[in-house]
Every structure is written in structure tokens, then in C-alpha cells.
Chain A
Amino acid sequence: MPELFMRMMKEEWRLHSTMFGQISFALFPVMIFGIVFMGSFLLPLMHSALPLGNITLITHAMFLVLGIMVGGFGLLGNEMMNRRFGQASFLAYSARSLPLSERFIFANFVIKDTVYYFFLWVLPFGAGYIAAAPFTETPLQRAFLLLLTLSLSFMAGLCTVFLLSSLYVRSKLALVLLGAAVGAGFFAIFLATGINPALYFPPYLLYHSFSLPGLIASCAVLAGLFIISVILFSPEQTGRTATHKDLFLPVQKRLAGLPNPPLVAKDFVDLHRSGIGIGQTLFSFVAPLIVIWFFLSLVRSYLPPHGLLFLFAMISGVIASTIYTWVTEFDNFSHYSCLPVAVSTLIGSKMTTFAILQVIPAVFISLAAAFSGEAALILPAVVLCISFSFYAAGVMAFLCGLSPSVLVYDVKVLFTYLVLDGLVFAVFSALAFANPWYALASLLLFIPALLMVKAAKRRWDTVDPTGF
């Protein structure tokens, strides 16, 4: 166990550090630490707008979502990496030739992800808060407790996704049933008590009233989720050489009016057949956003009227922009390298695929608006979400070309990304809070988005594609 685990850790580290240099990557946790350390001093300021309980609640939610997204990327991401770099280049795959069971490898993989991303994200966050504690007059135990409960939130997210994904592979029906049961359970709690079930999130409760039995129970639940997902885990089925009906030409025909129909058609056939389309939509889009909705609705009273919907639309826009990450991640430039396809052409076709997939967030936001009784504001909410998503994707394309997911850990790139997105986020949430219909002004974001895609094409044509 330790052997394979350590090697997987090293592999993950090398993957990231060779992409953009050891130093730049090592700076990533340092940056998180720094941001939180300084952010802690702003806490009193934030208090005046939002009670402390809500801030900690949101922080716990953030780590839950982080866990969900890291888990989603770990699993599906690994599938993608496998596709990008060929069958045997990742340990999770090549270890198959060793006398180890698939379950054992999967368990190692999950633990690796947990530990690795714990050091990358959770620990620096907690450490930043702890380091600031003496200056902000926060009792040290509270700071340590926060590190503990945030870790639990993060692991809750990870374990949930691992469970769901194991289930997803086993039986889609079971997944749907489980989802329905959990949803019904939450609804029942809400009906019976009138309290948002997010308030019962165990790590959050634990932070507010710590008890040893509570901690033990939380850990036991996490361990349970982990064990069940390992037991349910079924290795991908190989050896079935089914034949398939030709999809490529019909899809291409349907896309005829768009730029680069063959490249976009290939993307859609790929997304459809590999199941990545549905998997990613569920795990990297719908699941985190539902969680966010629950937690955001707790701070509703602190937001202006309609504020919840529009804040949610902006956040959905941020997450929708990561669709650019998955459309660029699931295939490998080597599929195109022997064809007359330039990196700029590929950026263009990926943007087209991205644009079509924006139907997902559009439908999602429409449903959210309808269900929260704000159907009248569907139009501005959807426009805000989609415009912001395009803008953020344009920034990503410019900064990272065709490999956005790995480059996110490059501190310089991430910083630029956060600044460029943060400013726009602030401006447009302010506008939408002032008057929901002002959100339509976000259509203007398409201009910088297009300019950035253009600049991205020029920029990334002049460097060797990665992985070469």
C-alpha cells in the first residue's frame, strides 16, 4: 500500500510541477495561505455585513464543493488523462499489470487524491487562519477546530463523489433513485422543521458545538462512504467489441453552419459515447451548484431582493466557464497533430463546442429561477450567467490555451484569472443587485470574450503544444 500510494503522490506532483515549474507550483499553497492569512484580518469588516455563523457556513460549503469538484476531476479527469496520454502512462492504469486488485488500486487512488489535495488546498487554508489567530483575537482552539471541520467538509465532498461515481458506473437507475431519496429526505426535513437542511451539515454543526462523539460519528460516516464506494467500484468493462452506428457524418451535417464542423462533431460524438458529457454535467456542474444553492439560500436575507438568483447566476457562470476545461481535456492534441489543424483552429472549435454546451447552464438557471418563483427574471439571469461564462472562458483560453485545468495551479496565471474575473464579477453583481434588468448589460462581456479568444489563437499558435 505505502509503495503504490507514494508513487501515485509523486506522479501527481510531477504532473503538476513539470507543467509549469516546481517553484511556481509550490507557490500555490503558499498563495492560498497568504490570501487566507490576510483575509482573516478582514473578518471583522465582513461581520458587519454578514453574521459570523454565515461566514463559517459558507466556508464549509466552499470546501464541500471543492471536495466534490476535486473528486469529479480526479475520476473523470483520470479517464481523460488516460485518453490524452495513451493507455499506460498513468499509474492508476499501468499498475494493472502488477499483481494488485483493481479495488486496491482504486482505494489508493482515492486516498492519494484526498491527501494530495488536502496539502494543496485545505491545509494552507486552515494554516492561514491559524497563523492569523493571535492577531485577530481568535481563540487558537477555534482556529484548529476550523481546520478540522473544513477537512471533514472537503472529505465529505470527495467521498460523496466517489460513491456517486461508483454507483454511476454500476447502475444509473440506482444513482437516480438515491438522488431522489436524498432530495426527498431534505425536503421532508424542510417541511417538518422549516429549517434549511444545509444547516444540519455535520462538519458545520461540529464547528459550532464540538463533541467527541460527534467527531467520531462524522469520521465513521466518511469511512463508511469510502468503503462502500470501494466495494461498489467496478473496473471499466473491456473486451466488449460492440459495433456502433455511424454518428459522425449525421452530427457533422447538423453542425454545417458552424465553424469547423468536423472538429466540433468529433467532440460531440466523443462526449456522447464516452459518457463524459453526462458524467461531467452531473459531477462538475449540477452537483456543486445544488450544494451552493442550498448554502446560498441561507444568506438570502442579507442579499437585496432577487439577489440570491443573480448571485447564483454569476456563480453558475463561473462554473459553466469550466466547461471549457472539460472540452479541452478529454482529447489529446496528438489526435490532430498529423492533420492540418493548427492550435488556433482547435481553440476555435473547442470554443464552438463550449458555446453549444452552454445550453446546460442556460436550462439550469431557467429551472432555478422558475422553481424559486422568479420566472419573470429568467431572461436577465440566464444572460448574466452565460455572458459571464463566455467571458471567463475567454480569459482561460487566453491564459492557458488548450490546457486550462493544469495551468490553474500556476500562481501567476491563477492570479491574473482571479483578478480579471473578480473585477467583472463585482461590477455585474453590483449592477444586478441594483436592478435585475441591468444584468442584461452583461451582454457587453461578449466583446472582451471574443477579443481574448482572438488573442489566445495568436498567442498559442506560436508555442509547441503541450505533451510534445
Chain B
Amino acid sequence: MSPVLEVADLSKAYGDVTAVDHVSLSVDEGALFGLLGPNGSGKTTMIKVLTGQIRPTGGSARVLGLDVEREGLKVRERVGIIPEQESPPSFLTAMEYLEFVGAVRKLQDIGEKAEYWFDLLEFGDKKHVLCKDLSRGTRQKLMFAQAFIHEPVLALIDEPLINFDPVMQDVVKGYLSEYVRKGKTIFLSTHILEVAEEICSSFAILHSGKLLHAGPVADLTARGTHLPEFFLSLVRKDHHA
């Protein structure tokens, strides 16, 4: 399998805060990759750099063979993104927002595609409500739909589960697992370690911008541990170091 995402010695500093610090990793096609780490460890920054939303200050990264710094726009054409903050434009309705995304992405049959998502995530009754009047979870559903509506080969999704109720979390977990089974790739950042352990094939742990660990989830079983314990011991050890 070839890597869809390759990060080499990547750094991003905001002024004197180094948010991502010399990170190297690669993600294979068909992986459901989990990016884990405490608050402020650089997960969101990493996703923004990988999708060409902001420029790295060191190193390089290729996504789907494209250089994220020079070809960020092409990267965003081909991947799907869920940003950390669910912020669809306040004065469009849910339906209009998907139509807007469809128009920008030049999709055919946007109406049908939108219906599919209203059904799957069960928010068809909110179709014609303005985004600013939607509940947080519903806004998150909408952001989920816009990220996958063009069935990208790779989706980079930042904490997609956090505002969902248990039923919806289950639907979404199922969708993600099924999605990678079709040969597509997911790059997911999350704090919910149990979910990561359940659905991810491989993972990495960031702490203060540095990569502490990267590897398959299956290795944990070989070590006789679980992701939550592994995460906590690693991060705490690093914290004291």
C-alpha cells in the first residue's frame, strides 16, 4: 500500500509558540488513522497545515502526492475536511449550505446527495432552518455532511464526534469504518480514546507539538495494554521528562 499522506520533519510556529515540532509520519491508503494528544498539543494545527489552510514553518508534507504548501488548493479540492469549530455560514439554511458546498466543489445532483445526508444523520426536519439557529450537534452533522458529500479519497476530520449523542456517534463510527473498507482513508483527530481504539487501524500521539508515538493499534494488544492506559502513561511520562 502506498502512503496517501507523508509528513517529513514538519514544524509550525505561531510567533514564538511552536505548535507542531519536527513531526514525521506517514499514513497508508485505506487506513483509519487517529491523531491523539492532550489539549493544545497541535492536532488542529497539523490538520490545517496538511490541508494547506496555513503554511508550515519547517519541513514538508505531501497529501495525495501534492505538496501542501504549494498545492494547498488542489489538496482541498480532493480531500474532505471537518474543521475544529463547526461554523457553517449563519444566514444560509442547512440545505443552502450543502448547495453552496456542492456549487463550489462543482458537484452534480447536489439535491440528491444532500437528501442522502439528511436521511443518514437524521436532520431532514432542519433542512430549511438557518445555520445560526441550529443546535450545536446539528451544525456538526452539517459539517460532517459537507466533508463527505463529494466522497473524497481522503478525509481529515477534527474531533467529529464530540457534539454527537450516543446514537449518532454510533452511526458515524459505522460510517467511518465502512468508508475505509471501500479503500478510502480517514485522518481523524479525537480525544475519545475508546472510540479511537475501536475504529482506528493506526494512531499517533502528539504532546506539545512533538510526536511521542506512532504505530498500528494492533500492536497495543501485543503489548498487553489498551489505548487509554497507553496514552495516559506515555503523556504523563513525557510531562515529567
Contacts and interface: CB of A to CB of B under 8 A. Distances in A.
Contacts of B129: 241-244
A245 B55 contact: no
A273 to B, nearest CB: 4
Nearest to A468: B54
B54 A338 contact: no
A252 B82 CA distance: 25
Given A273-B91, A274-B91, A337 B83 contact: yes
A331 B89 contact: yes
A263 B99 CA distance: 11
Interface in B65-124: 72-74, 76-77, 80-83, 85, 87-93, 95-96, 99-101, 103-105
Secondary structure class of chain B's binding surface, majority of residues: mixed
Contact of A341 (B82, B83, B104, B130): B104
Interface residues of A, number: 35
Contact of A262 (B55, B77, B104): B104
A357 B203 CA distance: 50
Contacts of B73: 340, 342
Contact of B87 (A266, A335, A340, A468): A335
A338 B83 contact: yes
Contacts of B91: 269-270, 273-274
A261 B77 contact: no
B53 interface: yes
B48 interface: yes
B207 to A, nearest CB: 23
A248 B87 contact: no
Contacts of B178: none
Interface string A272-299: 0110000000000000000000000000
Contacts of A262: 100, 103-104
Given A248-B96, A262-B103, A464-B54, A273 B83 contact: no
Contact of A243 (B89, B90, B93): B93
In this complex, the interface size class of chain B, counting residues with CB under 8 Å from chain A, is 35 or more
Interface in B99-155: 99-101, 103-105, 127-130, 133, 143, 146-147
B130 A273 contact: yes
B104 A270 contact: no
A233 to B, nearest CB: 21
A346 to B, nearest CB: 11
B51 interface: yes
Nearest to B103: A262
Contacts of A269: 91-92, 96
A419 interface: no
A246 B87 contact: no
A420 to B, nearest CB: 29
B100 A340 contact: no
A242 to B, nearest CB: 8
Interface in B12-63: 48, 51, 53-55
A234 interface: no
Contacts of A334: 83, 85, 87
A215 B69 CA distance: 61
A332 interface: yes
Contacts of B133: 240-242
Give the most central of A86, A245, A464: most B CB within 10 Å. Answer: A464
Contact of B103 (A83, A261, A274, A331): A261
B128 A340 contact: no
Nearest to B110: A249
B89 A338 contact: no
B124 to A, nearest CB: 12
Nearest to A462: B55
A248 B100 contact: yes
Contacts of B128: 243-246
B105 A340 contact: yes
Contacts of A52: none
A340 B103 contact: no
Interface in A324-379: 331-332, 334-335, 337-342
A247 B96 contact: yes
Nearest to A87: B132
A246 B104 contact: no
Give the most central of B81, B104, B127: most A CB within 10 Å. Answer: B104
Contacts of B103: 252, 261-262, 265
B100 A266 contact: yes
Give the most central of A273, A338, A468: most B CB within 10 Å. Answer: A338
A244 B87 contact: no
Contact of A337 (B53, B90, B99, B100): B53
A269 B103 CA distance: 15
Nearest to B77: A340
A240 B54 CA distance: 37
Give the most central of B88, B103, B143: most A CB within 10 Å. Answer: B103
Contact of A332 (B77, B81, B87, B92): B87
Contacts of B95: 246
B50 to A, nearest CB: 12
A160 B82 CA distance: 44
Contacts of B143: 338
A266 B92 contact: yes
Give the most central of A86, A261, A331, A340: most B CB within 10 Å. Answer: A340
Top 7 A-B pairs, shortest CB-CB distance: A262-B103, A338-B81, A243-B128, A248-B96, A340-B77, A273-B91, A340-B76
Given A248-B96, A248-B99, A340-B77, 18 more contacts: A240-B133, A242-B130, A242-B133, A243-B127, A244-B128, A248-B100, A252-B99, A265-B100, A266-B92, A269-B91, A269-B92, A270-B91, A338-B81, A338-B83, A338-B146, A340-B104, A340-B105, A464-B53
5 contacts: A270-B89, A274-B91, A334-B83, A338-B143, A341-B104
Interface of B: 48, 51, 53-55, 72-74, 76-77, 80-83, 85, 87-93, 95-96, 99-101, 103-105, 127-130, 133, 143, 146-147
